[in-house]
Structure 1
Amino acid sequence: MTVNPIAGTSDPAPHPHATAEEVEAAYQDTKLAQVLYHDWEAETYDDKWSISYDERCIEYARGRFDKAVPQADLPYGRALELGCGTGFFLLNLMQSGIAEKGSVTDLSPGMVKVALRNAENLGLDVDGRVADAETIPYDDDTFDLVVGHAVLHHIPDVEKSLREVLRVLKPGGRFVFAGEPSTVGDFYARWLSRATWAAATNVTRLPGLGQWRRTQEELDESSRAAALEAVVDIHTFDPAHLEDIARSAGGEDVEAVTEEFAAAMLGWPVRTFEAAVPPGRLGWSWARFAFGGYKRLTWLDENVLQRFVPRSFFYNVLITGAKPQG
Structure 2
Amino acid sequence: MTTDVTPGTDPAPNPHATEEQVKAALTDTKLAQVLYHDWEAETYDEKWSISFDERCIDYARGRFDAVATDEPLPYGRAMELGCGTGFFLLNLMQSGVATKGSVTDLSPGMVKVALRNAENLGLDVDGRVADAEKIPYDDDTFDLVVGHAVLHHIPDVEQALREVLRVLKPGGRFIFAGEPSTIGDFYARWMSRATWFATTNVTKLGPLQGWRRPQEELDESSRAAALEAVVDIHTFDPDELAGIARAAGAHQVDTATEELAAAMLGWPVRTFEAAVPPEKLGWGWARFAFGGWKRLTWLDENVLRKIVPPKFFYNVVVTGTKPR
Find out whether 1:248 has 2:247 as its counterpart: yes
- Matched residue, 2:229: 230
Contact 2:11 2:108 in 1 (8 A): yes
1:20 Cα deviation after fit:
1.3
Contact 2:182 2:236 in 1 (8 A): yes
Contact 1:2 1:11 in 2 (8 A): no
CA distance in 2 between counterparts of 1:102 and 1:321 reads 19
Which structure 1 residue ranges, 5 or more long, are not aligned? none
Equivalences for residues 20-169 of structure 1 within 5 A: 20-169=19-168
CA distance in 1 between counterparts of 2:8 and 2:197 reads 47
Aligned length: 322
CA distance in 1 between counterparts of 2:207 and 2:130 reads 49
Contact 1:182 1:236 in 2 (8 A): yes
Which structure 2 residue ranges, 5 or more long, are not aligned? none
Contact 2:5 2:126 in 1 (8 A): no
Aligned amino acid, residue 303 of structure 1 = N
1:280 Cα deviation after fit:
2.5
Aligned amino acid, residue 248 of structure 2 = A
CA distance in 1 between counterparts of 2:138 and 2:95 reads 27
1:2 Cα deviation after fit:
4.8
TM-score, normalisation: structure 1: 0.97
- Matched-pair identity in %: 80
Equivalences for residues 285-304 of structure 1 within 5 A: 285-304=284-303
Contact 2:145 2:164 in 1 (8 A): yes
TM-score, normalisation: structure 2: 0.98
Question: SS at the partner of 2:20?
Answer: helix
Find out whether 1:175 has 2:174 as its counterpart: yes
CA distance in 2 between counterparts of 1:254 and 1:113 reads 32
Runs of 4+ in 1 over 6 A off after TM superposition: none
CA distance in 2 between counterparts of 1:283 and 1:3 reads 36
Equivalences for residues 239-318 of structure 1 within 5 A: 239-318=238-317
Question: SS at the partner of 2:135?
Answer: coil
Q: Tell me the alpha carbon deviations over residues 162-216 of structure 1, each in whole angstroms, 9 at most, x when there is no partner.
A: 0000000000000000000000000000000000001111111111111111000
1:52 Cα deviation after fit:
0.4
- Distance change in 2, residues 1:219/1:72 (3 Å): same
CA distance in 2 between counterparts of 1:290 and 1:256 reads 28
Q: Tell me the alpha carbon deviations over residues 192-247 of structure 1, each in whole angstroms, 9 at most, x when there is no partner.
A: 00000011111111111111110000001001101110000000000000000000
1:149 Cα deviation after fit:
0.2
Q: Provide the aligned C-alpha RMSD in A.
A: 1.0
Contact 1:68 1:319 in 2 (8 A): yes
CA distance in 2 between counterparts of 1:24 and 1:198 reads 24
CA distance in 2 between counterparts of 1:61 and 1:149 reads 9
Question: SS at the partner of 1:179?
Answer: strand
Aligned amino acid, residue 139 of structure 1 = D
1:9 Cα deviation after fit:
3.8
Q: Tell me the alpha carbon deviations over residues 106-137 of structure 1, each in whole angstroms, 9 at most, x when there is no partner.
A: 00000000000000000000000000000000
CA distance in 2 between counterparts of 1:67 and 1:256 reads 9
